[in-house]
Amino acid sequence: MPPKPHRVLLDRVSGYADEAAAYMRRRRIQRKPFARLYYAGGRAAEFPADSSAGGELFVAAAAVIELAGKGRRPERGARERDRRSS
């Protein structure tokens, strides 16, 4: 007896999903942090996190992110609480 048509389709989709999951697992294992710099002329350079230049770039990027976070707007509802307390 031949398999039902929807089961063939389900098996095919399941196979693709399994392959995609395996690809993502392999990619996650091989992925390592790095810093990439883009220059005005279009050139790009990559620095691994364990190199001296990469470490300095990560520290600088963390400082920029921290500085940018200080200028954020107050969270939703904070203005209303401030108005009520005034």
Task: List, for residues 22-63, the tens digit of each pLDDT value.
Answer: 888 877 766 778 888 899 999 999 898 889 999 999 999 999
Q: Which residue has the tokens 């990027």?
A: 61
What are residue 46's DSSP bridge partners? 36
User: In which band, very low, low, confident or very high, does the pLDDT at 9 lie, cut at 50, 70 and 90?
Assistant: confident
| Phi, psi of 6, rounded to the nearest 5 degrees | -70, -25
Rounded to 5°, angle at Cα 49 from 48 and 53: 80
Domain residue ranges in the chain:
5-85
